Amino acid sequence: MPVLLVVTPSTEGSLITAMVWSADDEDPRLLDSRQFRGEGAFKIWLGGVVVRYGRSNIRVSPTEALSTDARLRWTIEEVIGAAPLSTSSPAAAGRAKE
């Protein structure tokens, strides 16, 4: 089943909000919604999403907040096993800002 992953990092701390939506019909349904206080718990949960739906069935919604968080993008890319958001590592993204 194809799903859409929507991840929104908090601008004021380490809170991460994640939602999984069905993406195979015209009426998307919320399949799961969680909030995490850090990347470790988020990474474990995301691993479960990968097991449940399959790497090739997960599409990541490129939210504006996520596009500014290189470290979280890299975590998502690492767990999903592809590069759906960017091709740079957090270190490279940090060097690009300098």
Alpha-carbon distance 55 to 90, whole Å? 21
Termini Cα distance of the chain = 41
A 10 A CB-CB count for 37 gives 12
Q: What pTM was computed for the model?
A: 0.79
Are the CB atoms for 60 and 82 separated by under 8 Å? no
Those residues of the chain that have pLDDT short of 70 are 82-98
Which pLDDT score is estimated for 89?
A: 40
User: For the CA atoms of 34, 37, 42, 48, what is the dihedral angle to 10 degrees?
Assistant: -50
CA distance 50 to 80: 7
What is the fold of 3-97? Nucleotidyltransferase; domain 5 (3.30.420)
